[in-house]
Amino acid sequence: MAILIDIQKIALEGFDRTILENFSLTVSSGDRIGVVGINGAGKSTLLKIVAGIQPADSGNIRLGQGIQVGYLDQIPDLPKGTVREVLGHGWEIDAAIDRLGMTNALETQIDHLSGGQLKRIALAKIFGETNDVLILDEPTNHLDLSSIEWLEQQITNFPGAVIIVSHDRFLLDQVTTRMIEIDRGKTYIHNGGYSALLEAQAEREALAQNAEQVRKNMARHELAWLRRGVKARSTKPQARIDAANRLLSGGKEAAAREGSIEFNVETPRLGQTVIKAHNVSFSYPNGREILKDVNLELGPGDRIGIVGPNGAGKSTFVNLIALHNEPTVGTIKHGPTVVTSYFEQGSDNFNLEATVQELVAGPRGIPGSPEDIALMKSFWFTGALCKTKAKELSGGERRRLQLLLALAKQPNVLFLDEPTNDLDLETIRLIEEFLAQWPGTLIVVSHDRTFLSRTTDRLLEVHADGSIADIPGGIDAWIARSAGLISSVNVGDDEAPAKAPTNGRVLRDAEKQVSKLERRRSTLNEKILASADSEEQKTLGVELSQVIKDLATAEDYYLSLMS
């Protein structure tokens, strides 16, 4: 393999912290390198340094002779002109824009495109160029599932090297050969994909826990020995006692973020009917029909994922069933106990001039109350961040604030529209764990396959012709069919006219229970692996054993319904 880029001892200091410290990396042809870390860790900064866009404070970056580097920013900056003028001609370009669903926009001016359209044009452009190294910063943002599959194929088939920052765990695990983890200036390089990174993180945490226990035991033994021997010695060992006390009261390096999202609020109980849509169609004033003849009934605890191509009407559909818009034809009703909250993509639906604590307090509250401080801390808004204006927050911090404000309404029905955009992987995982225990009804529009798999039981696809249909087997079966691992199957009882209409509901409830128990099993396994406390492991193990038994029973019941 040819060496394309050689990075030696790169360092960069930020305003109040170290961003990169003594980072070295050799990039060769065939490398697929993923970069992860919490928001603000320095992922995008590292990419810009490697791309030659931003200088480092020290260190060297050497490119092989004639090596061309292509860079895709989170928010692409494209030249003015039409899409065709910017992209040029060629069969590769035409194939890319066709697969990305942008053929009808060829004569559109670049400055008239939406953020999602800009991302797709930038991707078509960078893969149509002659580059040896591709540096991609969150390339899946605003892409639908079909476009992400195309991106996976492009990365896999690219002959050079790819360095990618992404929150799409499925993508990272599919394409990467190495992972770089950035944590408070330090970098850890792991061979393998995202799964290997998780294993390495768990092992590092276990080692840190063990080292911490050894350190504390040594401190206790030292302190006990000093105290026992005080009266017997002529010299006062107070300095050594103080040193041992400091060692005992100290600790291992604090985590970049402490704890998990803990949001204990009362959720109003739901009745049997939550949302019911009957023969719903929707057209914009220009006459274009977006949705037609949609029938849907959601009950308490339902977990619905919504997918479909960009522009098909996913967000329109969610706005309708959330009662933000009225259907052109048909009716949509909410149950009498429904309390909704909407986490909407691309919308900072709060006063950007207000501080975090002012927004959390609301118009009737007192900013900085003890209750609000606890609430903000649960979403990692602490210290000076509480008094920061919303307009000064990073993209990921704004998204966390949006979710916090949405949940502060104490909803029992939650709408999430592309919730993982701009969030780091740690935040996404913790939100997934929170939602797995949240008792309300959840409706999610997302292109994040892992998020959908871990939070939803049922998958609906919005088609380009305006129809909506169940996807049998949910997101996991959708992925398997897309990869050619299984063939298409019939929807089953829901489409069998000879059977009673309740059969489909019973089947979905059984599948939902299986999915819920699978999520709980996965969560418990992760907690057991991450814990170094034997008592905690034992408690979790007892619960895991019961969950495994319950899952076997639920699977048997589901299979009996399918037979």
Q: What is the DSSP string of 248-290?
A: HH--SPPPSS-S------PPPPP-S--EEEEEEEEE-TTS-EE
**Angle CA(93)–CA(94)–CA(99) in degrees, nearest 5?**
100
Instruction: Enter the DSSP assignment of 497.
Output: T
Residue 248 scores a pLDDT above 80: no
User: What average pLDDT does the segment 255-280 reach?
Assistant: 72
Q: Which of 45-54, 462-471, 534-543 has the lowest mean pLDDT?
A: 534-543
Q: Strands 303-307 and 441-445, how do they pair?
A: parallel
pLDDT bucket at 250, cuts 50 / 70 / 90: low
The sign of the CA dihedral 321, 327, 332, 338 is positive
Residue 469 scores a pLDDT above 70: yes
Per-residue pLDDT tens for 8-25? 999 998 877 888 889 999
Instruction: Return the closest-CA partner of residue 324 out of 337, 312, 334.
Output: 334
Give the Cα separation of 489 and 480 in Å (integer).
12
Q: Can you list the alpha helix ranges (DSSP code H) found in 229-382? A: 238-249, 314-321, 356-361, 370-378
- The reported pLDDT for the residue numbered 499 is 35
Higher pLDDT, 244 or 469: 469
Residue 398 scores a pLDDT above 70: yes
- The reported pLDDT for the residue numbered 370 is 86
pLDDT bucket at 46, cuts 50 / 70 / 90: very high
Helices 425-437 and 502-530: crossing angle in degrees, nearest 10, is 130
Give the Cα separation of 522 and 520 in Å (integer).
5
Residue 555 scores a pLDDT above 50: yes
Domains observed in the chain: 3-198 (3.40.50.300), 275-562 (3.40.50.300)
Higher pLDDT, 56 or 236: 56
Q: Which of 90-99, 204-213, 493-502 has the highest mean pLDDT?
A: 90-99
Residue 137 scores a pLDDT above 90: yes
Residue 42 scores a pLDDT above 90: no
Chain CA centroid to CA 172, Å: 12
Instruction: Enter the DSSP assignment of 493.
Output: G
Mean pLDDT of the chain: 82
Residue 131 scores a pLDDT above 90: yes
User: What average pLDDT does the segment 360-372 reach?
Assistant: 84
Residue 491 scores a pLDDT above 80: no
Give the Cα separation of 23 and 47 in Å (integer).
12
- What Cα–Cα distance (Å) separates residue 67 from each residue in 33, 112, 160, 161, 291? 18, 34, 10, 11, 49
Instruction: Return the closest-CA partner of residue 411 out of 439, 433, 377.
Output: 439
User: What average pLDDT does the segment 262-279 reach?
Assistant: 79
- The reported pLDDT for the residue numbered 256 is 53
Higher pLDDT, 103 or 422: 103
Q: Which of 22-36, 45-59, 257-271, 300-314 has the lowest mean pLDDT?
A: 257-271
Residue 194 scores a pLDDT above 70: yes
What is the token pair recorded at 367?
């900013």
Instruction: Return the closest-CA partner of residue 76 out of 133, 122, 125, 141.
Output: 122
pLDDT bucket at 497, cuts 50 / 70 / 90: very low
- The reported pLDDT for the residue numbered 25 is 92
Residue 413 scores a pLDDT above 90: yes
What is the token pair recorded at 411?
């909803």
Q: Strands 178-183 and 186-191, how do they pair?
A: antiparallel
pLDDT bucket at 504, cuts 50 / 70 / 90: low
Strand partners for 283: 289
Residue 344 scores a pLDDT above 60: yes
What is the token pair recorded at 333?
């009703």
The contacts of residue 528 (CB under 8 Å, 6+ apart) are: 537, 540, 541, 544
Higher pLDDT, 206 or 283: 283
Residue 99 scores a pLDDT above 90: no
The contacts of residue 6 (CB under 8 Å, 6+ apart) are: 26, 27, 60, 61, 62
Give the Cα separation of 120 and 325 in Å (integer).
28
User: What average pLDDT does the segment 516-528 reach?
Assistant: 78
User: What average pLDDT does the segment 53-70 reach?
Assistant: 93
Higher pLDDT, 412 or 437: 412
**Angle CA(412)–CA(415)–CA(417) in degrees, nearest 5?**
160
- The reported pLDDT for the residue numbered 265 is 57
188 by DSSP, 3-state: which? Answer: strand
* Cα first-last separation, the chain: 53
- The reported pLDDT for the residue numbered 121 is 93
pTM of the model: 0.73
Residue 280 scores a pLDDT above 90: yes
What is the token pair recorded at 297?
């009934």
- The reported pLDDT for the residue numbered 102 is 87
Instruction: Return the closest-CA partner of residue 308 out of 146, 450, 430, 126.
Output: 146
Higher pLDDT, 211 or 67: 67
Residue 380 scores a pLDDT above 60: yes
What is the token pair recorded at 58?
């020290």
Higher pLDDT, 249 or 168: 168
- The reported pLDDT for the residue numbered 493 is 42
Residue 45 scores a pLDDT above 50: yes
Per-residue pLDDT tens for 347-361? 567 788 999 999 988
